[in-house]
Amino acid sequence: MFKSHDIYSFRTRLNIIFILVLAGIVFSSMYFTNRLVKKLSEEEKRRMELLANATRYIIEADDGQDISFAMEIIEANTTIPVIIIDENDNIIGYRNIETKGKTADDFFKRKLQAFKSKNPPVEINLLSGEKQYFYYEDSLLLTELSYFPFIQLFIVIIFCAIVLYALLSAKKAEQNQVWVGLSRETAHQLGTPISSLLAWVEILQDKNIEPKLIREMSKDVDRLRIIAERFSKIGSKPAIPMTDVGQAIAKSLNYIRKRSSDRVSICYEQPDEPTMLPLSEPLFSWVIENLCKNALDAMAGAGTINVKLKQSRNHLIIDVSDTGKGIPKRKFKTVFSPGYTTKSRGWGLGLPLTKRIVEDYHNGRIFVLRSDADSGTTFRIILKTTVNPVFFTFL
């Protein structure tokens, strides 16, 4: 059975294994195809040598000598383009070259240069002491076969991408259904004890119990109600009323202050004027609380959390900084993956939830702005001042 903090590592290993298997298939195919191309190239070279010998036989044959077999050898070559030249680079003959619509002299000169760059010539030594040279180009079959590994690689990559996309989409849809169902059932199950607790608070008030105790119990019951409300919103379209973002953040920070160590200092900087934006306050307060709780864990209960809200022309920017142990740069994107956690307990869902609330419900962005070992991390949230929310199935 896997622990929650092992889920991401296990999934990463599976991805690595998948990539290695794919690479093995592709490289094996390329290796055997290249071997086949090399063998065919050697075979074509031997055919050119046989063709050269047949040509020399015809040139040096006496009158009346049977040259039909040599002619059959020459005529059997219907695929390999050939140019024959003498010692002075004068073109004597050619075969399997289409010249229709071409200027002969210039065309053959360009062809000859191309042939020279591809294959070494086959030399013919005649009895007269003269020499001729056979230059040839790879056949169409060999040329197409040499491109086959790259075409195959492209097809395999496209196929794997489609399969991977289909699997991930199906898996994500299944996870969405499970999480939405689980979240709504959790909200439903919390409803009954919350109602009961509210009734008990009223009974205790009638019993003249210490007022301070009643107030603290009421706060905790309200907190449970907020948590149940958050879970009930998962998978549904939440209300996005115009909200003062600065005040919403302040409320979340006040909640964190009351439940953090005296050794933790939480500082908040915001503009003097209200910062109004379409916002689901119950969900967005979850974002701030998750970031602050991660900061508290990173600082081991002692340090400073700085939250800064600033407004640019078209965006609201929220920076949440801590003085904790930092995040390695290679993990900047990984921390938002479900199942990733550095803690021995927990499911690693806090930051993925945060990312989905910011991006799916508020069309914003969240990312690690900077992080240094043992000096802290800054998460940045960017929200558009004009928001047209696009709703997806949450989680």
Query: With contact defined as beta carbons under 8 Å apart, do 250 and 270 qualify?
Result: yes
- Tell whether the model's pLDDT for residue 392 goes beyond 60: no
- Tell whether the model's pLDDT for residue 367 goes beyond 90: yes
pTM, two decimals, is 0.52
pLDDT tens, position by position, 301-339: 789 999 999 988 788 999 999 999 888 888 888 888 766
Q: What is the mean pLDDT of the chain?
A: 80
Nearest to 154 by CA among 22, 12, 20: 22
Task: Give the per-residue SS3 of 126-184.
Answer: CCCCCEEEEEECCCHHHHHHHHHHHHHHHHHHHHHHHHHHHHHHHHHHHHHHHHHHHHH
**Lowest-pLDDT range, 36-40, 151-155, 257-261, 364-368?**
151-155
Fold: same for 25-138 and 240-384: no
Question: What are 165's two structure tokens?
Answer: 């996309």
Q: Which CATH class is domain 25-138?
A: alpha beta
- Higher confidence at residue 382 or residue 273? 382
Q: Give the pLDDT of residue 348.
A: 60
Each domain of the chain, given as residue ranges in start order, spans: 25-138, 161-219, 240-384
**Lowest-pLDDT range, 70-74, 171-175, 347-351?**
171-175
pLDDT tens, position by position, 78-136: 888 888 888 888 888 888 887 776 666 778 888 888 888 888 888 888 887 888 888 88
Q: Give the pLDDT of residue 66.
A: 84
Q: Which residues contact 46 (CB under 8 A, 6 or more apart)?
A: none
Domain 240-384 falls under CATH 3.30.565.10: yes
E-strand spans in the chain? 82-86, 91-95, 122-125, 131-136, 242-244, 264-269, 276-278, 303-311, 315-321, 365-372, 376-384
- Tell whether the model's pLDDT for residue 377 goes beyond 90: yes
d(CA 310, CA 315): 9
Burial class (CB in 10 A: 0-12, 13-18, 19+), 138: buried
Q: Give the pLDDT of residue 280.
A: 87
